[in-house]
């Protein structure tokens, strides 16, 4: 490990890494020396593009197409990653599904799917990687939460339910595995500028802009992930790291 490459010798699994926040996190960790498992649900082409960017940084990358809701697929992904790059040291649970649907129009399948990606996906990934982290006596679990569940948001019951559960799960992991050298923390973005079309209600109207009156850049979220993954941050756990321009102050 060097000052310039604090994550040298580490392997990170980033779910939902083919674009936006996931891509930014993968590249940020790679620039710090980590080899990266680039997970995507279905966009292999985009994920392969991210892998090439990682390799251009001098790191190894492995693309894995897997649905984090599928426990068997997650187990296989982690096993193949271990064989190809080494056991997972850093888990970043970024995979999510969003959308705005009025509650009475929200069908159960959509409700279940959105919650399962946030909550069950994190459950499956954490259970798959934790044995290796325990064996090493070192690990970082980073989940992507949010702030809207604190105050509620119309049309987002499914998303908010998943993110609130995700936050509780992450804190439970922090308590249970803190004595094993493993930290678990949540990053709570607000509105983030992404390349995909924003769903209705995702960009705040001018009257509700946070104290820093703009959307976050994905690289700002990635920088928080690097902070939490850094070997120096072994005493930071069970925390919600707010990267939302102060928007949390209004919830």
pLDDT at 36: 99
**Domain spans of the chain?**
11-250
Residue-level pLDDT at 205? 45
What is the rounded CA–CA span in Å between residue 116 and residue 163? 10
Report the candidate in 8, 81, 19 with the shortest Cα–Cα distance to residue 47: 19
Q: What is the pLDDT of residue 191?
A: 84
Note the CATH architecture for domain 11-250: 3-Layer(aba) Sandwich (3.40)
What is the predicted pLDDT for the residue at 94?
97
Quote the pLDDT of residue 206.
46
Mean pLDDT of successive 10-residue stretches along the chain, which has 251 residues: 85 98 98 99 97 99 98 98 97 92 96 97 99 99 88 88 96 99 96 66 56 90 98 98 82 57
Per-residue pLDDT at 148: 76
Residue 106: what pLDDT?
96
Per-residue pLDDT at 196: 60
pLDDT of residue 250: 65
User: Could you tell me the pTM of the whole model?
Assistant: 0.92
Output b/e per residue, 84-101; b: 16+ Cβ within 10 A.
ebebbbbbbbbbbbbeeb
């Amino acid at each position: 490990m060097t000052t310039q490459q604090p994550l040298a010798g580490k392997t990170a699994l980033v779910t939902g890494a083919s674009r936006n926040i996931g891509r930014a996190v993968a590249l940020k960790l790679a620039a710090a020396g980590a080899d990266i498992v680039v997970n995507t649900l279905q966009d292999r082409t985009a994920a392969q593009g991210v892998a090439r960017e990682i390799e251009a940084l001098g790191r190894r990358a492995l693309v894995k197409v897997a649905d984090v809701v599928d426990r068997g697929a997650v187990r296989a992904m982690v096993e193949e990653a271990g064989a190809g790059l080494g056991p997972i040291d850093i888990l970043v649970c970024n995979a999510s599904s969003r959308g705005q649907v009025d509650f009475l129009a929200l069908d159960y399948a959509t409700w279940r799917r959105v919650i399962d990606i946030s909550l069950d996906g994190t459950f499956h990934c954490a259970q798959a990687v934790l044995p290796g982290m325990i064996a090493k006596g070192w690990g970082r679990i980073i989940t992507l939460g949010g702030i809207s569940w604190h105050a509620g948001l119309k049309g987002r019951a499914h998303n908010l339910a998943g993110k609130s559960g995700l936050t509780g799960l992450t804190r439970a992991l922090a308590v249970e595995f803190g004595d094993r050298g493993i930290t678990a923390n949540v990053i709570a973005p607000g509105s983030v500028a992404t390349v995909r079309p924003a769903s209705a209600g995702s960009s705040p109207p001018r009257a509700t802009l946070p104290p820093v009156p703009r959307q976050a850049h994905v690289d700002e979220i990635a920088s928080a992930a690097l902070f939490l993954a850094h070997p120096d941050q072994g005493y930071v756990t069970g925390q919600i790291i707010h990267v939302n321009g102060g928007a949390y102050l209004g919830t």
